[in-house]
Amino acid sequence: MRFIICEDYEGMSKAAADILAAEVLLKPNCILGLATGSTPIGMYQEIAEKKLDLSHVTTFNLDEYYPIKSSNEESYHYFMQENFFSKVNVKKENIHMLDGEAEDPQQECDDYERLINKHGRIDLQVLGIGHNGHIGFNEPNSFFRAQTHISNLTQRTIEANSRFFERIEDMPTKSLTMGVGSIMNSKTIVLLASGKEKAAVIKELQKNKVDPQIPATILTVHRDVIVIVDKEAASLL
Ligand code: F6R
């Protein structure tokens, strides 16, 4: 695990966009794993400004709330369209996201898992990190879930993410998420974190102790993880 400490959020976003751009230039038909949340917004902006040709790229998003309509402004479908897909030339048929409107969520997870496996390994997986150490919506647990699954969001995640919803009651309490298997199977992983509220969980990554109660710690045994943080998130390292 390598740490890149940047001056600020902008520096973190630029560094992440550069890595992603290099991946696309080296392998135009690469498979990218994408995240949502506040953290990667700057990275998406930077990539859009680079005017890269992403027409051969395939994407898989990590997660989606459940249940949620894709037209809901807080859905991850809406987020990705607003912040990224509307600004770049990824082909619609190459974009893959879990469906928050699926009638049978378990079937949706199984199909998504199969689809990722059919495409092979993700070349570059972008991750944010929750205050509780979640990656995707792999929440703290007594064990790791390898496969795409339905996840019950913890109270801490509901409180943190309800900031985007008008009322806390509007926030779904479940999500569909890629499991740690596909994440760990990715060739390269770039984890982004910004702000002092992420400092404690970033410190946990430095301990090299895998603990399913802090799901991101599994990344410490992956051979190619780059953690890009701003100074505040790095303040306890
Ligand atoms: C989102 C995701 C989550 C977020 C995490 C951090 O697709 O997978 O794990 O990365 O909740 O969110 P922010 O960036 O809003 O602090």
Question: pLDDT digit string (tens) for 2-26?
Answer: 999 999 999 999 999 999 999 999 9
Q: What is the pLDDT of residue 208?
A: 87
134 is catalytic: yes
Residue 64 has pLDDT above 90, yes or no: yes
Residue 34 has pLDDT above 90, yes or no: yes
**Range in 56-60, 162-166, 219-223 with the lowest mean pLDDT:** 162-166
Residue 234 is encoded by which pair of tokens? 């790095």
What's the chain's average pLDDT? 97
Q: Give whole-number Cα distances, 96 to 59, 83, 99, 113, 147, in Å.
A: 6, 16, 9, 11, 16
pLDDT for 129-179, tens place per residue? 999 999 999 999 999 999 999 999 999 999 999 988 999 889 999 999 999
Q: In this model, does residue 190 exceed pLDDT 90?
A: yes
Q: Is the CB of 80 under 6 A from ligand 1?
A: no
Q: What is the mean pLDDT of residues 117-135?
A: 97
Distance of alpha carbon 132 from alpha carbon 69, whole angstroms: 26
Residue with CA closest to ligand 1 atom 12 = 37
Reply yes or no on whether 169 is catalytic: no
CA gap 46, 50 in Å, rounded: 6
What is the model's pLDDT at position 113?
Answer: 98
φ, ψ dihedrals at 69, nearest 5°: -80, 145
The structure tokens listed for 193 are: 């974190």
Asked whether 77 lines ligand 1 (CB < 6 A), one says no
The stretch 223-232 carries a mean pLDDT of 98
What is the distance, to the nearest Å, from the Cα of residue 79 to the centroid of all Cα atoms in its chain?
12
Tell me the pLDDT band of 121, cut-offs 50, 70 and 90: very high
User: Residue 65: helix, strand or coil by DSSP?
Assistant: strand
Given 23, 46, 63, 113, the catalytic residue: 63
| Residue type for position 10 | E
- Please report, to the nearest 10 degrees, the dihedral formed by the alpha carbons of residues 123, 218, 151, 99 taken in order: 0
Amino acid 112: pLDDT: 98
CA of 137 to the centre of ligand 1 (A): 8
Q: What is the mean pLDDT of residues 27-35?
A: 98
Centre of ligand 1 from the C-alpha of residue 50, in Å: 24
Q: Would residue 96 show up in a list of annotated catalytic residues for this protein? A: no
With CA atoms as reference, report the closest residue to 193 among 124, 126, 97.
126
